[in-house]
Amino acid sequence: MDEFSVIQNYFQSLTAPREDVVFGIGDDCACVEVPLGQQLLISTDTLIAGVHFPLATTPHAIGYKAAMVNMSDLAAMGGMPCWASLALTMPEVNTTWLAQFAQGLKDALNPYQVALIGGDTTRGPLSVTLTLHGLIPEGKALRRKNAKPQDKIFVSDGLGGASLALRSLKEPLLKPDHQKILLEKLNYPKAEVELGVLLRSYASSAIDISDGLAADLEHICLASGVGAMLLEEDIPLHPLLKTYLGEDALSLALQGGDDYALCFTIPPENLEAFQTQLTSLNKLCYCIGTIEKKPGLRLKTRDHTVKTCRLKGYTHF
């Protein structure tokens, strides 16, 4: 099967048509329309086999995750995802693999009516680069840089589950049903798109936790010129972390990547309104600490001593 057949058979009609797509797959470029008053957000993430997902990951999960990690970047800025370009590199054309990969991609993109508009398929070691385009009303993008002292720090989910799953692939650690739950967490992250849209109106900064809470919160602190105090007892752990790791659970929750929850800051004057809206979204978020003027990341333990956090997020080299 040549490149053109791969595109035609698996990707051409993958997603539903959108009115703002002037034309998509099948020309030298795709062409889309950005409505007046909206700005364009662009996110690119590459997943390499054996680096960003275990070699045994199903093609369905690879397709799903490639879309979701980018949607998570868009969600962190408050954007609505619209159009995706896919650069897929495969060692060979395996039609079973392709069908499942395409289905995974579709299952991630369809709930948000994101259109696959183009890309490139090439021969080489397996890797997936997705560039996702989204929209945000002018000036409303949530950045890392506007957190202020007294802002409350939140995360949108229990942490460390994906890291525990990764660890369990290297050493037999988990009961089979627990492993299944955690692999689902690792392979099928959920981008917090609706939460991101809500945060446009209330948050001062936001980031998605791909490299670990400590490392990603540090990005906010550095960009904002502030520091943070976290409360140990308020940091939500994935329920299975305590079961398997005991005292080490917190360290994994702080340093483990791949969770794709959002970490964001809410100024004191917005807290009440934000909590009300959160309830109407039927979404639970966790307040884990406070932004402070003093740079650095600190942790107040259960016995009220304050420790400086050493950062060890995921770095790619």
The residues of the shown chain that bind a second copy, judged by CB under 8 A, are 1-4, 6, 22-23, 26-34, 36, 39-46, 48-52, 73-74, 76-77, 79, 83, 85-87, 89, 92-93, 117-125, 127, 129, 131, 133-134, 136, 138, 141, 143-145, 206-208, 223, 315-317
Q: Which is nearer to a second copy, 36 or 56 (CB)?
A: 36
Task: Write down the least CB distance from residue 16 to a second copy, Å.
Answer: 18
Task: Write down the least CB distance from residue 211 to a second copy, Å.
Answer: 9
294: CB partners within 8 A, 6+ apart? 227
Q: Which is nearer to a second copy, 91 or 268 (CB)?
A: 91
Q: Which is nearer to a second copy, 38 or 277 (CB)?
A: 38
Distances (CA, A) of 96 to 10, 28, 292: 11, 28, 53
Question: 137: closest CA among 78, 183, 198?
Answer: 78
Task: Write down the least CB distance from residue 137 to a second copy, Å.
Answer: 11
Pairwise CA distance, residues 181 & 162, whole Å: 10
Q: Which is nearer to a second copy, 101 or 244 (CB)?
A: 101
Task: Write down the least CB distance from residue 151 to a second copy, Å.
Answer: 18
Is the CB of residue 220 less than 8 Å from the CB of residue 203? no
Task: Write down the least CB distance from residue 107 to a second copy, Å.
Answer: 22
2: CB partners within 8 A, 6+ apart? none
Q: Which is nearer to a second copy, 182 or 193 (CB)?
A: 193
Q: How many whole angstroms from its chain centre is CA 258?
A: 8
Answer left, alpha or beta for residue 124, where phi above 0 means left and psi between -120 and 50 means alpha.
left
